[in-house]
Amino acid sequence: MSFVGFDRAVVRTVAPGFIAVAMVVLVPSVAGARGEVPDTHAGGKQTAELAGRSLTLQEAIESALEMDENIRIERAALDSTEAAVTGAHGSYDPQLTLGAGWRSVTLPVNSAFSGAPAGEPAPTDGTAEASASLEQLLPTGALVLVTTGSSRATTNGAFALLSPAYQTQLGIELRQPLLRDRAIDPARLALRVAASDRDRAAASFRREVIDTVAAVASAYWKLVAARRAVGVQEDTVKLASRQLDETNARISSGAAPETEVAQPQAELERRRGDLLAARETAARAETVLKKLILGDDSDAWSTRLEPVDDTAIQTTQVDATAAMAEALASRPELAIAAAGVERRKAEADYAHDQVRPALDLVASYDRFGLAGSENPAGSDIPGLSGGVPPGLEGNLGDATSQLFNGDFKDARLAVELRVPIGNRAARADAEIARNAQIQAEADVTRVRKAIRAEVLDAVAATQTASARISAARAARQAADVQLSAEQDRFKVGLSTNFLVLTRQNDLAAARLTEIEALTDYRIARAELARVTGSLLAERHIELD
């Protein structure tokens, strides 16, 4: 992974087929880039020896979308559901069955009319046959079956006219459900379930992308705040050190007793401890961000990240009603819940359909052919004409041609009714499926209420953070003036170390409060964009 500079267009992909960041224009993070007034008091300077790899928020987001394991997991789940949809359509793939065989049979016959050759207990029959069938399920639930076959039979029995005898057959059958399985059948149920699972996986993937972007934004701004807090603590250490130097100078000149040095010395050591704690907090914040944006084999784990998007912000008012409407139209959680309802509805439709009796319309039409040679072992039966009947003498080709002549055929039209008595299992399944659908529909209502509550909370947090910024800035400016005045009083002997150090602490606290307010507002705006479903659009991220 590498973090590059600014002023360029970036195109990134999350996974095959998904455009994650499309034509995102990154601009240098400098004050005044959008007419904003820079904040010159909220952050400290980074020393040159600690300078690391610069990182914009947009670059951090792009890297997270490429590296995040949860996104890859959700993407794989989505691919699986796409495959399941394709597999569900496989129910409508035609099924071809081919068969071939040979058989020789000599069965004892307990009859004087066995037709067996003289001196043998039974005739011997031999058959070689081949068959083919093509089965096709139609979207109406109908099943079409086309069959064909041919055989060659030989016998030494005296009663057979032909040996060898060639038989052929060609037929088609249609079975159309009229009650059960007419509106929905297992194939159509599988299609609806697969489609709902795919929609659910797509929405879940979108939710994971949104959550990842929100997490990166929060971690990024927390790192910015932690680094600026380190700067504040560094400044407080410098102020305490300067106050200690001034106190030592006053002691050397005899203007103050030697015990006066104890207070600034103790304060200096306390502030050094606070600085160490602030640096640890910043290190932990950096680790959180690295965990989100770095791959396992990245060389940046040991490199210091330098966030550069540290500009002033412009607060805006939020329309809670419009925000709720946008959230209810965009949140992937609602799409997930709706997909669950669709799946439960499909299952309920199928379970209810299975309660019905089965009434099927069956239509079939077959043609047959028969040809062969006179059986050399045959014998005339008194009263019957001997020899081969006209039109039957020939070979396999003659038997096949008879299929087209239509001399031998079988047409059938029937209605079949199957009524399950009681059918308690199907009725129970229908009731269970109906209740599952009711639960899924109730879950949609629960999700909608939860989204409304999240939006209202996010709006309140944003408005509160916006108001806190003005108050914190005013408090910091007042603390700055008070410290300057107290320092002037100390220089002329009208103040004490205690008062000066107290004013220094007040200014540090005010600066930290302002940093916290600015960070909370940035995070609140990102959270508001997340709960309204507009975060991806704001960050120029498109899912295809």
> pLDDT, tens digit, for every residue of 479-500?
999 999 999 998 888 888 999 9
CB atoms within 10 A of CB 122: 18
**Order of strands across the sheet that contains 408-418:** 95-106, 124-137, 143-155, 162-177, 358-374, 408-418
- Backbone dihedral region for residue 542 (phi beyond 0: left; psi -120 to 50: alpha; all else: beta): beta
Cis ω for the linkage preceding 121 (within 30 of 0): no
Task: Please say whether the beta carbons of 373 and 163 come within 8 A.
Answer: yes
Q: Measure the CA–CA gap between 421 and 503, rounded to whole angstroms.
A: 90
Interatomic CA distance for residues 423 and 421, integer angstroms: 6
pLDDT band at 3 (very low <50, low <70, confident <90, very high): very low
pLDDT at 477: 94
Label residue 18 exposed, middle or buried (CB < 10 Å: 0-12, 13-18, 19+). Answer: middle
pLDDT value of residue 18: 36
* 176 close to 141: Cβ distance less than 8 angstroms: yes
Q: Mean pLDDT across the stretch 469-485? A: 93
Confidence band, pLDDT 50/70/90 cuts, at residue 348: very high
Output the pLDDT for position 380: 66
Flag whether pLDDT at 320 surpasses 50.
yes
Task: In whole angstroms, give the CA distance from residue 346 to residue 256.
Answer: 88
Average pLDDT, integer, range 118-122: 79
Q: Name the pLDDT band for 199 (thresholds 50, 70, 90).
A: very high
pLDDT tens column, 412-429: 999 999 998 989 999 999
Residue 4 has pLDDT above 60, yes or no: no
In what helix (H) or strand (E) does residue 68 lie, and over which residues does it extend? none
Does pLDDT of 153 surpass 50? yes
**How sure is the predictor about 385, in pLDDT bands with cuts at 50, 70 and 90?**
low
pLDDT in tens, 163-185: 899 999 999 999 999 999 999 99
Which candidate, 270, 273, 275, 262, places its Cα nearest to that of 496? 262
Which tokens is 397 given?
Answer: 């080709």
Residue 390: per-residue pLDDT: 81
Please tell me the predicted confidence (pLDDT) of residue 447. Answer: 96
Q: What was the pLDDT predicted at 386? A: 62
Question: In the chain, where does the domain assigned CATH 1.20.1600.10 lie?
Answer: 9-35+53-85+191-344+434-538
Residue-wise pLDDT for 225-271, tens only, equals: 999 999 999 999 999 999 999 889 988 888 888 888 899 999 999 99
Residue 152 scores a pLDDT above 80: yes
Domain 9-35+53-85+191-344+434-538, second-level architecture: Up-down Bundle (1.20)
Mean model confidence pLDDT for the chain: 86
* Position 289 pLDDT exceeds 70: yes
pLDDT at 355 exceeding the cut of 50: yes
Is the pLDDT score of 123 beyond 50? yes
- Say how far apart CA 457 and CA 449 lie, in whole Å: 12
- The predicted pLDDT at position 382 comes to 59
Q: Which amino acid is at 460?
A: A
**For the whole model, what pTM was predicted?**
0.79
Q: Give the residue-averaged pLDDT of 511-517.
A: 94
Lowest mean pLDDT among 105-114, 166-175, 235-244, 444-453: 105-114
Contact in structure between 508 and 302 (CB atoms under 8 Å)? no
Which of residues 188 and 120 earns the better pLDDT score? 188
List, in sequence order, every residue forming a beta bridge with 96; answer none if it has no partner.
134
502: exposed, middle or buried (C-beta count within 10 Å: 0-12, 13-18, 19+)? middle
More confident residue, 3 or 514: 514
Q: Are 157 and 386 in contact (CB under 8 A)?
A: no
Q: What is the mean pLDDT of residues 315-325?
A: 91
Q: Where are the alpha helices (DSSP H) in 301-423?
A: 320-330, 332-353, 396-405
pLDDT band at 381 (very low <50, low <70, confident <90, very high): low
Confidence of residue 69 (pLDDT cuts 50, 70, 90): very high
Own/partner contacts of 434-438, CB < 8 Å, gap of 24 or more, are 434/348, 434/351, 434/352, 436/344, 436/347, 436/348, 437/341, 437/344, 437/345, 437/347, 437/348
Q: How far apart are CA 184 and CA 140, in angstroms?
A: 8
State the pLDDT at residue 462. Answer: 93
The predicted structure's pLDDT at residue 491: 87
Q: How confident is the model at residue 383 (pLDDT cuts 50, 70, 90)?
A: low
Q: How far apart are CA 377 and CA 157, in angstroms?
A: 6
